[in-house]
Amino acid sequence: MMYYRLTKKDIKQILCCISIGTYISEEFDSDTLKYGPETVVIFIVERTLVNINGEESSVRIYIKIKNKEDKVPVISIHEAEK
């Protein structure tokens, strides 16, 4: 967030880009203490961002969420590994 100066509003807009077209995979979440034993869903969204040096580039953003009945906690959101 800091390298690209992303605000909470920016993150929310990135999360709104999640779709079946950005779906990558599902996996079992072994961290059951915080969210419970459920499957997590992984997406990669590509967005144009401006870094702290003012350089604009296309960035692949890795998003891991857990689909629960009453909420959708975001477990991880960061620049995807190349």
Residues 6 or more apart whose Cβ sits within 8 Å of residue 48 = 56, 57, 58, 59
Q: How far apart are CA 69 and CA 66, in angstroms?
A: 10
Which residue, 25, 4, 26, 27, is CA-closest to 14? Answer: 4
Structure tokens at 65: 């969420």
Residues 33-82 pLDDT 10s: 666 667 889 999 999 999 999 999 999 999 999 877 777 778 888 999 87
pTM: 0.82
**Residue 15 phi/psi, 5° resolution?**
-65, -30
Residues 5-24 pLDDT 10s: 999 999 999 999 999 999 99
